[in-house]
Every structure is written in structure tokens, then in C-alpha cells.
A and B are shown apart, each in its own frame.
Chain A
Amino acid sequence: DGGITQSPKYLFRKEGQNVTLSCEQNLNHDAMYWYRQDPGQGLRLIYYSQIVNDFQKGDIAEGYSVSREKKESFPLTVTSAQKNPTAFYLCASSPATRGELFFGEGSRLTVL
């Protein structure tokens, strides 16, 4: 089945540790995205990538980093510089410019 796989679904980490969230898609989409979802704030864009080896900062990129070495993969690292990392993280992809996004099931990160 085609889709977007995020892992892990739940993750607990101590303050000061970097964490990498995985996102893989087999939809052959060019564009991939990372959003953060907090209650009452909707989804906020962290990073997006239109093609391999290229990515752009979204609205809340500080404290996060990404890479796009393969079309299928767009991992997100939550660094120790992110002041409030506890959140629900959503990965998405889209087939073209100005098209709809397809979402993964999300990863919930809790920093203790």
C-alpha cells in the first residue's frame, strides 16, 4: 500500500538530547514537509523540501534540522536548541506544486 510512514509513533527523551524522527514515503512524491501540531495552534510548518538535496525553512524552523538525501526520505532532527520540543509532529508529501498534502500518522515527542 502506498503511503507515508512515520516512526516512532511515541518517543520520550530527556532535555538536552537530540532526537531524529523518521519519515518515509512510497508515493513517488517530489515534495515533503514537516509540521508541528500543538493544541489550539493548528499545524505550523517547520521545514519543506521540493526536491532532493534542497529544503526550505518554514515558519518555526529554529531548533530543528532536516536532510533530503533521497526522494523517499525526509528525517527531522529536534535539537537541544528547540526550547519547547514536546509536541505532535506530522510529516506530509505532495505530488506537485500547489497540490494537496498527504499526511503520515504522526510522531508524538515528549521531553522530560
Chain B
Amino acid sequence: AQSVSQHNHHVILSEAASLELGCNYSYGGTVNLFWYVQYPGQHLQLLLKYFSGDPLVKGIKGFEAEFIKSKFSFNLRKPSVQWSDTAEYFCAVNAGSGGYNKLIFGAGTRLAVHP
């Protein structure tokens, strides 16, 4: 069965520190990859997505992610975090077949940024 693993469940950083959140998936077919963010009290929103082309994708708020096919990975990065980046981050892979769009999510990583 397809699955998505996020290695860090909780991450605590100080402002201006660099961030890297790991994401690995198990799915042998063509994949579409996503990172979603859930700020406290808000709904899930898309940070960035990879469908094809340049494996380094840039998203909103200075986030980027790199798709490494050989490693089945799609790690999220930000060079310098801010207090406002405190949120829960979810990696997801589209594992649909037969024309169905079906996103499988990882367990999430809670990021706390201290001023």
C-alpha cells in the first residue's frame, strides 16, 4: 500500500534558523507531491506542489522543496524561519489510479518557532 513518512513529528527552532522537514513516500508510479500547512486555528492550505519538470519547486512564504526520485523523497526547506511559520506541516502524494485523484498524507510535523 502507498504510504508517506514524515521523519520528524515535532521540531523546535529559533527564529532565523534553517528548516528542513523530511518526507519519503512509497509508490512506484508517477507521482504528484504536495506540502500543505495548517496554521493554528486555520484550514489546511497548499504550500507548494510538484507535478513534473524542475525537481526544485518554490512555494509561498519562502518555502521550497526538492523532489529526489531515486530516494523517493520530497523534503521541505526554508533558509530562515520566522515565528509566523509555527504550524503543522503535511506532506502528501497523489497515489490515484484509473483516473482517480487520491492524496495520501503523512502524519504531519509540528513546527514551533521561538522568537
B63 CB to closest chain A CB, in angstroms? Answer: 15
B90 touches A50 (CB 8 A): no
> Which residues of A have CB within 8 Å of B43?
90, 103-106
Q: Check if A43 sits within 8 Å of B90, measured CB to CB.
A: yes
Interface residues, chain A, with chain B CB atoms under 8 Å away: 31, 33, 35, 40-45, 48, 50, 56, 58, 90, 92, 94, 96-101, 103-106
Q: A100-B46, A103-B43, A105-B43 are in contact. Are A45 and B104 (CB under 8 A)?
A: yes
Bound CA–CA A33/B6 (angstroms): 22
Report which B residues bind A (CB closer than 8 A).
4, 6, 9, 32, 34, 36, 42-46, 49, 51, 90, 92, 94, 96, 99-108
Interface contact A50-B99, CB-CB below 8 Å: yes
Besides the contacts A45-B104, A105-B43, what 7 more A-B pairs have beta carbons closer than 8 Å?
A41-B107, A42-B108, A43-B90, A48-B101, A50-B100, A92-B44, A97-B99
Q: Which residues of B contact A44 (CB under 8 A)?
A: 105
Distance (Å) between the CB of A74 and the closest chain B CB?
Answer: 14
B9 CB, nearest partner CB in chain A, Å: 7
- Closest chain B residue to A102 by CB distance? B46
A residues near B92, Cβ cutoff 8 Å: 43
C-alpha spacing A35/B44, complex, angstroms:
12
A97-B96 contact, Cβ under 8 Å, with A45-B102, A45-B103, A106-B43 = yes
Most chain B CB within 10 A, of A33, A43, A48, A58, is at: A43
Question: Contact at A99–B101, with CB atoms within 8 Å?
Answer: yes
Contact of A98 among B32, B45, B90, B106 (CB under 8 A): B32
* 20 pairs from A and B in contact (CB 8 Å cutoff): A31-B101, A40-B108, A41-B107, A42-B4, A42-B108, A45-B102, A45-B104, A48-B100, A48-B102, A50-B100, A94-B101, A98-B32, A98-B94, A98-B96, A98-B101, A99-B32, A103-B43, A103-B44, A103-B45, A104-B43
